[in-house]
Amino acid sequence: MLVNLNDLLIPAKKSGYAIGAFNVYNLETIEVVFDAAISMNIPVIIAFGEKYNYHNAINLVAQCVRELAYQTSLPIVLHLDHCKSKDLIIRAIRAGFTSVMYDGSSLANSDNIKITSEVVKIAHAVGVSVEAELGCVPAEDTGEFVPEDQLTKPEEAKEFVEMTNCDALAIAVGTIHGNYIGKPKIYHQRLKEIARAVSVPLVLHGGSGNTDEDIGLAIDEGIAKININTEISNVAVDKLKKIFTDGYSGHLSVLFESIKEPMLEVVKEKIKLFSRGKIGLI
Ligand SMILES: [Zn+2]
């Protein structure tokens, strides 16, 4: 069944575990995330990013996810990831998304507050939850470490949440989108300070590539939603490279099927790590 972020993240925050938000791009990735969640009896967030909305895929993704969600009693969130367009947010809500992320992190704080508040009013009117972002979670190839001055500031986060009424807040605490150039660094002290200042569940973007210890600590410190994209993509691409290196010349459908197993393993590993043994049947 479909639920919104609050249904999953409020219990997660209270009980000290996190829910995985896994990026999907096509039918295979959607099926893999469902298979992993159902096999472990642990809810997940299916995340579809604005940047993957080629040729209006948003409606097709919504239909696929809705169909699979209706076949299970496991709570599932259909979430629009990183969206800078209010128009697309409204289209996602109309298509059946139960949660949206408005990403105004590149704007001045006052503009981010203004537009996030507008999105929250629209989404809440129809029971859709809103994730917002404050601080800079950079894209890959932007350097080894996120400098401290780009991290989310606790007092600004507190004000932002109070003024926007958002349901969850993505924060910058050192993680990076995509592949890391060097060793990932999470600023744990900053994370703890933000968690103390802010009432809503906190979200960690750029979850791929961090050590299990760092992720476990981040959950203990207040992270309730963790986004995983790159690691899923990497294992599928690696598998395809190997298949072609071995001289594959079979059918396309077999190729699609062959990348599901490694992706499934990654998603299951992450779900297990994030659950901290506090939810589901592991
Ligand atoms: Zn992100």
Q: Which two tokens stand for residue 275?
A: 């659950």
| 199 Cα to the center of ligand 1, angstroms | 21
Whether 81 is catalytic is yes
Q: Which of 81, 103, 167, 214 is catalytic?
A: 81
What pLDDT is recorded for position 65? Answer: 98
Instruction: With CA atoms as reference, report the closest residue to 208 among 180, 188, 185.
Output: 180
pLDDT at 282: 46
Distances, alpha carbon 46 to alpha carbons 99, 107, 231, in Å: 10, 26, 15
Q: Which domains does the chain have, with CATH numbers?
A: 2-275 (3.20.20.70)
* Ligand 1 centroid, distance to 106 Cα (angstroms): 13
User: What is the distance in A from the centroid of ligand 1 to the CA of 142?
Assistant: 15
pLDDT at 131 > cutoff 60 = yes
For 209, phi then psi, to 5°, come to 90, -10
The CA-atom distances, in angstroms, between 134 and each of 8, 17, 19, 31 are 21, 22, 20, 31
- Which residues lie closer than 8 Å to 153 by C-beta, 6 or more apart? 135
Q: What is the mean pLDDT of residues 134-158?
A: 84
User: Could you report the per-residue pLDDT of 231-254, keeping only the tens digit for each?
Assistant: 999 999 999 999 999 999 999 999
Q: What is the mean pLDDT of residues 68-86?
A: 97
Pairing status of strand 99-102 against strand 168-171: unpaired
